[in-house]
Structure 1
Amino acid sequence: MFLFPEPTPATSTVNEPSSNSNKRYTITVQTGSVASAGTDANVFLSLYGDKNKIIRYQLQKSKNNSDPFERGHKDEFEFDNIDIGQLKTITIEHDGSSITSGWYLDFIDVTYNNNTVNFPIDRWLAIDEGDKRISLELEPNTKPTSKIAPAVENDKEEKRSSISPMDEKTKIEYSSEKADYDDFFDNDEDTNAENATEYEITVKTADKRSAGTDANVYISLFGDKDKLERRQLKEAIDRKLNLFESGATDRFQVFAVDFGKLKRIRIEHDGRGIGSGWYIDSIEVRYVARNETYKFPVDRWLDSGEGDKKISLDLEPDKKPGQLKDENNTDQEEGNTEQKRDTTDE
């Protein structure tokens, strides 16, 4: 497994249907003008509406730039796809697949049905900046609320490397930021709230060669009443030092708001370390007070050098990623359809 694989021809993860009910979507992406803001990573967009959703569409061919997502550039993408209804949220992400993968996003506009919806961003998607996220869920006209540290800019106006050597000053500043963000995830206000609800997260790593990871792992929980976004799984109940080892089962205790019935989760890692690729067998989330357990079979890699190269994955209870419904089928439970994804491991 390699953190940065050899470049391969990019392909869309979405099969675009040819139905006459399709809508034309225009996506405008403004990359920031700060030093080294551009990215060479593969970029994906998901659109969630009140009727349907489009999952992980690759923004690949810019209408106005041959090399998209360069510093200060505005890129426009157009595609036809299913009618999602009223746009509620989007997810923008990249796969961290290049040395210069860190990306500073200014904003995204989504235009369809003669209506433009704006998503202000003004932050890094980078494993070595701020809260180290490379996947971000956004609501219209609302900036992300996560703590974001200012970028450490070099004197040279060259593209930033996520694995480049750092001088002593940079090392000191980075260490300070890391402590701040560890505190941010540990001291979430939900944890100390009087009405905090206890959850138990069980993560089973597959028993196969090189299945384990040393990367930082995060989980998000989405219910019908509330959500818990990007809680780092870093201290197991048994307090063992090495987490997510091949064949191991790790259990974590999480206190958060009562988010009601669990609809989906997101599991992700930040790609840190040479052996960051991770093969997950399954995940369970137990609502302790009600003794309700939600099971999420996984059985696949989260690895920028394997399969579809994803390191962030949305999961629904009792469904393997490859069992998610095609957009032409009706989702009986949620009234939604989902784009078919290729999760075949190479």
Structure 2
Amino acid sequence: QHITLGGVGHLRIGSTPVTVSSLSSFPFITIFFSDRNATDVFKFSSKNVGDIAAICVGHCPKDGFTGRQPLVDADLVEQVACRVTYGIGPGWHLEYIDVKDETMSKSFRFQCDRWLAKNADDKQIIRELACANNDILDLKERTSYAIVTVTSDEKMPKQGECLDNSRGKKGRSKELMMENSSKKRRFAQNATDVFKFSSKNVGDIAAICVGHCPKDGRKFSPKPDSYWHVKEITVTETELGNQYIFNCNAKIPLRNKRDEYKVFECAKTIESFASRARSLVPVKYEVIIVTGFEKGSGTDANVSLTMYGSNGDSGKHALKQKMRNLFERGKTNRFYIETLDLGEMKKVRVEHDNSGLSPGWLLERVEVTNSATGVTTIFPCGKWLDKKRGDGETWRELYPVY
């Protein structure tokens, strides 16, 4: 990937944050200073992660990272444009990141237009950016579809082919021929058949047209009551994994003319996580940690938090504040974490590394507030995270109370 960064930075690609320990799965690289208003190009190879829903970009003091990866020949290209902004020290104003996958000829844009600085904006130096161009797949390009047909226990065609034509919000596909032959019988009673096609991307599929035509254009004389009784058709767009289900339960007449077809509207859409992630936006979460009042409740250990929602998880975030003693007995500590919108909060995982002179910790509760919606979710705990007390565990998964 080519990336352009102003300042020492690192980049993570994928729908979830990545730590240094997972270098084998995702790129984690260090890049050195650029001048303001500069566009610099770097190249490196990495594992193909498919369509990119989000990236995480940040910076730290020089030599602050471990596990550096040299910039090598490219499979992917990234460009980061820096706004003409004056600043002193390590602060960096990032305008946007363009990611180009040269192998797949796809481009992804991640808009930022914010500071990554300890003394500006919200004082965050790491940001997760969602893909701004939601139509990741170029509609001029071809994509692949898997069509699954379910035939009822009634009559089925002896000869010929069935036609499927998909109508989406972005257009309609060509006729997709689902072939039936003596060598490979299709559409048998109670049968489920799978067909795969390459076609232009029609976007979200609203309806399909299903008909019948003779094999190889040859005419035949069907009986008046000849038909194919189709029970259900499922169309899957394989790039993103979105499924469109059509409850047909209809008889498709066997005719020589192509204009005798039936139209079925989509009854149900199952959207994949990859598709949902494209529309997610960064949200700042306020996290409040309340430590218990019992003697020895505070901890000297390093604490981290992972939030889980209906849209995915935040990844593990270290809860740190410079020049402050945290998680002391009876105290409340406040943190801000920016990540992609997690949706409805499901649970949080709190853990510590059992370090320091007094690592044991009595966690009273965790409160998480979505700054975009103002919704606060409370996760009670009231248990020890201590190797020597309670059940000896140094982590807890907490669930909300409403």
Which is bigger in relative contact order (C-alpha 8 A, separation at least 6)? 1
TM > 0.5: no
TM interval, short-chain normalised = 0.3 to 0.5
TM-score where L is the length of structure 1: 0.38
Structure whose CA Rg is larger? 2
TM-score where L is the length of structure 2: 0.33
**Higher percent of residues as strand:** 2
